[in-house]
Amino acid sequence: MANPNKKIADSGALYLYGISRNPAGPAAKKPGANLPPKAPKIGSAGIDGVHAVEALVCGDFLCWVCKVDHASFADAVERNMENLEWLALHGVRHQQVVGEVAGQITIVPARFGTVFSGEPALFKDVLGRKAALNKVFARVAGGDEWGVKVFAERQAAPVGVPAARSGKEYLQQKAARLKTRPERNDPELQELATALAKIATDSAPSGKVSGTQPNLLWQATFLVPRNKRRQWDQVLRNFVERWDGRRRIEVNGPWPPYSFVSDAE
């Protein structure tokens, strides 16, 4: 359970989830000061499944952290970058916390796996990027990240193609049917991208992991202002109706603004 008022020993390594604005007035902004009463409390498990999630006051900001064992956790991060099970478990835990914070207060997420040696290092870094952080907060506040994917619907076997006479011919015919990779400049996909981008504040390429999903034609990630959801839904609805039977649209979200915070680097 989060215990926001607990002080963390300076020597402890800290896993950083992300940074929010300090909702307190200018009074209680000294680094390490007690949390303002308005700060959200987080119930999700920490990144190691043991330590609680805590918010640390750092001037105008709140840092969402949890303690980790310096040597073993930092080593585990390095060792497990290709270990799907480790990444799945910790990626899900990371998202649970960042998502829970984002449901209550704007958060600028840190890169998955970021560990600081201790409070002094964390505060030094955060205070050093104050101007950049403020710029990013201004852009992402009031928005959610959404992923949009377009899939080709499975095509029936084309009429008029003779039955395959050999295994090789069968495979060639099958490959031709499965070949749904779009021409790079498919005008309808571009039309959707343009319509969505008009409503969104920003967009980013997506599908870093899912790029090889079968029948995927196009995907992108958008930062969508919450007060424009009606227009956003309308654009999607128009394309869903237009593409019925030919193409399927899938959306996922709302996510914290993971893909739109690199300006704070």
Partner 1 sequence: MGRGRPIRLSLMPNDFESVAEVLGGEEEVSLLEILDHVLNSGVVIHGSLVISLAGVDLVYLGLNVVLTSVETALTNLQIAEKRKK
Q: What is the rounded CA–CA span in Å between residue 110 and residue 61?
A: 14
- Which DSSP helix (H) or strand (E) runs through 102? helix 84-102
Q: Does 18 bind partner 1 (CB under 8 A)?
A: yes
Closer residue to partner 1, CB minimum distance, 10 or 244 = 244
6-19 b/e (C-beta count within 10 Å ≥ 16 → b): eebeeebbbbbbbb
Q: Say if residues 107 and 64 touch (Cβ distance below 8 Å).
A: yes
Q: What is the rounded CA–CA span in Å between residue 200 and residue 144?
A: 10
Q: Say if residues 217 and 180 touch (Cβ distance below 8 Å).
A: yes
Q: Least distance to partner 1 from the beta carbon of 265, Å?
A: 5
Q: Does 254 bind partner 1 (CB under 8 A)?
A: yes
Q: Which of 47, 221, 64 is nearest to 145 (CA)?
A: 221
Sole window of 168-176, 181-189, 192-200, 255-263 interacting with partner 1 (rule: CB under 8 A): 255-263
Residue given tokens 């899939």 in the structure block: 151
Instruction: Give residue 115's Cα distance to chain centre.
Output: 18
Q: Does 249 bind partner 1 (CB under 8 A)?
A: yes
Residue given tokens 């779009």 in the structure block: 182
The residue from 33, 195, 199, 236 that contacts partner 1 (CB under 8 A) is 236
The residue from 170, 171, 210, 246 that contacts partner 1 (CB under 8 A) is 210
Q: Does 229 bind partner 1 (CB under 8 A)?
A: yes
Closer residue to partner 1, CB minimum distance, 169 or 244 = 244
Q: Does 248 bind partner 1 (CB under 8 A)?
A: yes
Write out the binding residues for partner 1, residues 31-90 only, by CB under 8 A. Answer: 49, 70, 73-74, 77-78, 81-82, 84-85, 87-89
Q: Which distant-in-sequence residues (6+ apart) come within 8 Å of 251 by Cβ?
A: 146, 147, 148, 149, 236
Q: Least distance to partner 1 from the beta carbon of 253, Å?
A: 5
Q: Does 217 bind partner 1 (CB under 8 A)?
A: no
Q: Does 124 bind partner 1 (CB under 8 A)?
A: yes
Here's the x/- map for partner 1, 148-187, by CB under 8 A: it reads as ----------------------------------------
Closer residue to partner 1, CB minimum distance, 33 or 249 = 249
Closer residue to partner 1, CB minimum distance, 4 or 147 = 147
In eight-state DSSP terms, residue 59 is T
Burial class (CB in 10 A: 0-12, 13-18, 19+), 154: exposed
Helix axes 229-242, 187-199, angle to 10 degrees: 170
Q: Does 99 bind partner 1 (CB under 8 A)?
A: yes
The residue from 30, 111, 135, 246 that contacts partner 1 (CB under 8 A) is 111
Q: Are strands 53-58 and 61-68 parallel, antiparallel or unpaired?
A: antiparallel
The residue from 31, 34, 114, 188 that contacts partner 1 (CB under 8 A) is 114
